[in-house]
Amino acid sequence: MNLPLNIEDFQGVWSLTRLIRDARAGQLIQADGQAELQLDAHGLTYDETVTLRIPGQPAMTGTRRYLWRDAGDKIAIHFDDDRYFHALKLGQTRSDDHHDCPPDSYDARYDFSGWPRWTVCWKVSGPRKSYEMETKYALR
């Protein structure tokens, strides 16, 4: 089975589709767009641009940046201000991690079983949040 073994395996432009099942709002939110992962001095910069479709609202554009850092057998993912977010383990079919952002809790599951297609699912819970977000990536 072909799996990502190092940070460079993610370099490139990826098409993405996203579904957000918001239990609290009772909505299914959809997004599609792309993520570009470019080499920088410390690893990769992840830049995402999506068109977000929320029921009953006009489509809107969203952007997000993360910093991916080589951490040996893992990739440490940081927010764009360099605060640590979570990590994904390389060379495995699946990688799970957790991020606490009190009062909210974020659980991630990466699935690389179809590499170079891959998926990340987030389960988010807290006093004001209850949603699952699934993002599917395919290399362009």
Average pLDDT over residues 14-39: 97
pLDDT above 80 for 1: no
pLDDT above 80 for 48: yes
| Lookup result for tokens 């993610």 | 10
**Residue 112 Rama label (left phi>0; alpha psi -120 to 50; beta):** alpha
Average pLDDT over residues 79-92: 96
Domain limits, the chain? 7-132
pLDDT above 90 for 59: yes
Length of the chain: 140
pLDDT above 80 for 75: yes
Fold entry, domain 7-132? Lipocalin (2.40.128)
Give the chain's mean pLDDT: 96
Residues 6 or more apart whose CB falls under 8 angstroms from that of 85 comprise: 66, 77, 78, 79, 99
pLDDT above 80 for 23: yes
